């Protein structure tokens, strides 16, 4: 591992740094705007270097390489980036103002809490992330942008329509007077960001695409031209505008159509679709039941007819999605996209060899969840037992989908010895109502109760053995009490 060498700002040889090897250097507390001459960094190598609390003003950086570099708490003003290369470089809390770009290349680059003010950006950018960044009076001109994600970003008077931009992802972004190009609109993914907040342009003219007839004609165009990734995404985006779309059916027909595609085109489409589905995990315009039904279809049928070498590649993508689902990495509010009156079948495995004990345990956690998260909405019985299998007891039940999923969600976070193996939903529908949120306060009596339970089962002043001891608690009523109290704390 390289050790950074601090740059001496009094070293006169550094007043002209052109073509120098400045790799693995530490630039710290340097204000180049105070220099009598403009220091040029033309064609320098900044591989592995770190910039901290620096101010660069009008410095030329043309054709310099920033690879594995880290830049934080710094400012770049009227800098000439020329044809720089940024690769696997991070910027954090950096301000960019009126800089000059000409064919900058950027890939695997990460920006966090950066401000771009009055920037005309000409870049080739791939596989990069902007998080909590702000763009003010900016434009991306003659740029090529592919697979770039914006998370919790703010755009004000920003034009992204005058460039080739595909597969942009907008997650929880704030928009004010923002333009996108119409050519690739259905390759853009929007989560907690509404498509109708964008203006779409074609050759500089605004085109109104937020119309049902425009979406309908686009569906036909994408289907007939084999643009199936866009075909699915356009249907997903249409649901933001309250249009009807049977997403499970759409995915089923797409995967069946892809069988006849040439291998390379098919692979690209499927990998892009799986990437899209991963992005839309926890997305309230695809309700919980529909999303899980889509993933279940792909797991069981969607990839059956493809060559083995392709399936191996797809499986790596599906593995991540399945882990998100099986580990219940949901925002609990998203779970209320389940219609509270819908039924489903669930399979639960409980670490017990006693059938009565397992049923009592399941009853206690269903009761606790119903009381704390559903305000006692569901009456007895909370579930119907369909089948019991031996070993670690496996219970197949029929219950309300919302209640069953909330049980799985909470227990995975609290007790861990009750595991949801699968959830098979019998009906697909979107939720129209939400249950009221829980009061997060807890009484002194509850705190005292937690203390008594923790003392009784020796859960205090322990480290790695905490979870093991909790799993050995034998009283099902006590388990239900523990779950009930912790649920009231969480929600």
**What is the domain partition of the chain in residue ranges?**
5-180, 212-326, 330-431+438-491
Contact 49, 69 (CB under 8 A): yes
Token pair in block for residue 88: 């696997």
| DSSP bridge pairs for 115 | 95, 134
What local confidence, expressed as pLDDT, does residue 292 receive?
Answer: 85
What local confidence, expressed as pLDDT, does residue 485 receive?
Answer: 54
DSSP string, 227-261: -HHHHHHHHHHHHHTT----HHHHHHHHHHHHTTS
Model confidence band, residue 298 (pLDDT cutoffs 50, 70, 90): very high
- Of 340, 245, 240, the closest CA to residue 294 belongs to 245
CATH of domain 5-180: 2.160.20
Which CA distances in Å does 266 have to 126, 247, 310, 320?
22, 20, 9, 20
pLDDT tens per residue, range 89-123: 999 999 999 999 988 999 999 999 999 999 999 89
Interatomic CA distance for residues 322 and 340, integer angstroms: 24
Interatomic CA distance for residues 24 and 229, integer angstroms: 42
Residue 21 is given by DSSP the state B
pLDDT(436) > 60: no
Interatomic CA distance for residues 69 and 187, integer angstroms: 31
Residue with tokens 């969600």: 409
Model confidence band, residue 487 (pLDDT cutoffs 50, 70, 90): low
What local confidence, expressed as pLDDT, does residue 484 receive?
Answer: 55
Residue with tokens 């060498």: 5
pLDDT(247) > 70: yes
**β 394-400/343-350 pair status:** antiparallel
Interatomic CA distance for residues 259 and 64, integer angstroms: 46
Highest mean pLDDT among 132-141, 403-412, 448-457: 132-141
What local confidence, expressed as pLDDT, does residue 440 receive?
Answer: 38
What local confidence, expressed as pLDDT, does residue 106 receive?
Answer: 94
Q: What percent of the chain has pLDDT over 90?
A: 38
Pick 231 or 330 by higher pLDDT: 231
Min mean pLDDT across 10-19, 309-318, 417-426, 430-439 is at: 430-439
Model confidence band, residue 8 (pLDDT cutoffs 50, 70, 90): low
What local confidence, expressed as pLDDT, does residue 452 receive?
Answer: 52
pLDDT tens per residue, range 178-217: 888 888 889 999 988 877 778 888 877 888 877 778 888 8
pLDDT(453) > 60: no
Which CA distances in Å does 457 have to 449, 450, 453?
13, 11, 6
Which residues, including other chains, have CB under 8 Å from residue 239's CB and lie 6 or more apart? 245, 247, 285, 286
251: Cα within 13 Å, side-chain hemisphere: 25
H-type helices in 205-327, by residue range? 212-224, 228-240, 247-258, 263-279, 288-297, 308-326
pLDDT(354) > 70: yes
pLDDT tens per residue, range 125-159: 999 999 999 999 999 888 899 999 999 999 999 99
Interatomic CA distance for residues 110 and 127, integer angstroms: 9
pLDDT tens per residue, range 458-484: 444 444 444 444 444 434 445 555 555
| C-alpha R_g of the chain | 28
What local confidence, expressed as pLDDT, does residue 364 receive?
Answer: 86
What local confidence, expressed as pLDDT, does residue 208 receive?
Answer: 81
Which residues, including other chains, have CB under 8 Å from residue 305's CB and lie 6 or more apart? 259
pLDDT tens per residue, range 365-402: 898 888 888 888 898 889 998 888 876 788 888 888 88
Highest mean pLDDT among 286-290, 381-385, 428-432, 452-456: 381-385
* Mean pLDDT of the chain, nearest integer: 81
What local confidence, expressed as pLDDT, does residue 84 receive?
Answer: 94
Min mean pLDDT across 60-74, 233-247, 319-333, 415-429 is at: 415-429
Which CA distances in Å does 286 have to 64, 400, 443?
45, 19, 37
Interatomic CA distance for residues 364 and 372, integer angstroms: 12
């Amino acid at each position: 591992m390289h050790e950074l060498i601090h740059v001496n700002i009094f070293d006169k040889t550094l007043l002209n740094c052109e073509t120098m090897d400045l790799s693995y250097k530490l630039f710290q507390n340097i204000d180049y705007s105070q220099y009598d001459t403009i220091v040029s960094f033309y064609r320098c190598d900044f591989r592995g270097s770190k910039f901290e609390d620096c101010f660069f003003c009008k410095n030329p950086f043309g054709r310099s390489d920033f690879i594995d570099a880290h830049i934080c708490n710094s400012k770049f003003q009227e800098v000439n980036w020329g044809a720089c290369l940024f690769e696997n470089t991070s910027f954090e809390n950096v301000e960019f103002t009126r800089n000059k770009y000409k064919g900058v290349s950027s890939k695997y680059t990460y920006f966090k809490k950066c401000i771009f003010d009055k920037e005309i950006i000409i870049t080739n950018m791939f596989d990069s992330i902007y998080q909590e960044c702000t763009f003010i009076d900016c434009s991306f001109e003659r740029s090529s942008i592919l697979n770039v994600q914006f998370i919790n970003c703010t755009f004000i008077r920003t034009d992204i329509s005058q460039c080739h931009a595909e597969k942009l992802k907008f997650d929880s972004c704030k928009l004010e007077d923002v333009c996108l190009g119409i050519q690739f609109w259905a390759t853009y993914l929007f989560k907690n960001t509404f498509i109708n907040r964008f203006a779409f342009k074609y050759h500089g003219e605004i085109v109104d695409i937020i119309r049902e007839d425009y979406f309908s004609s686009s569906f036909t165009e994408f289907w007939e031209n084999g643009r199936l990734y866009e075909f699915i995404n356009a249907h997903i985006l249409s649901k933001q505008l309250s249009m009807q779309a049977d997403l499970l059916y759409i995915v089923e027909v797409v995967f069946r159509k892809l069988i006849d595609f040439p291998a390379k085109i098919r692979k690209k489409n499927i990998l892009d679709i799986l990437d899209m589905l991963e992005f839309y995990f926890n997305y309230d315009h695809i309700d919980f039941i529909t999303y899980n039904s889509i993933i279940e279809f792909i797991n069981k049928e969607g990839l059956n007819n493809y060559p083995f070498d392709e399936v191996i590649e797809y499986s790596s993508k599906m593995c991540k999605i399945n882990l998100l689902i099986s580990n219940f990495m949901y925002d609990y509010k998203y779970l209320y996209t389940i219609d509270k009156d819908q039924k489903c079948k669930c399979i639960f495995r409980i670490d017990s060899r006693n059938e009565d004990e397992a049923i009592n345990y399941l009853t206690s956690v269903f009761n606790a969840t119903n009381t704390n998260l559903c305000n006692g909405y569901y009456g007895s019985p909370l579930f119907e037992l369909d089948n019991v299998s031996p070993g670690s007891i496996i219970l197949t039940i029929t219950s309300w989908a919302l209640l069953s999923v909330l049980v799985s969600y909470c227990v995975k976070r609290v007790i861990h010895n009750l595991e949801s193996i699968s959830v098979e939903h019998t009906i697909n529908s979107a939720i129209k109502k939400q249950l009221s949120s829980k009061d997060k306060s807890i009484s002194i009596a509850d705190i005292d109760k937690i203390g008594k339970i923790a003392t009784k089962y020796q859960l205090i002043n322990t480290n790695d053995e905490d979870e093991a001891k909790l799993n050995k608690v034998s009283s099902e009523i006590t388990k239900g009490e523990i779950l009930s109290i912790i649920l009231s704390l969480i929600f």
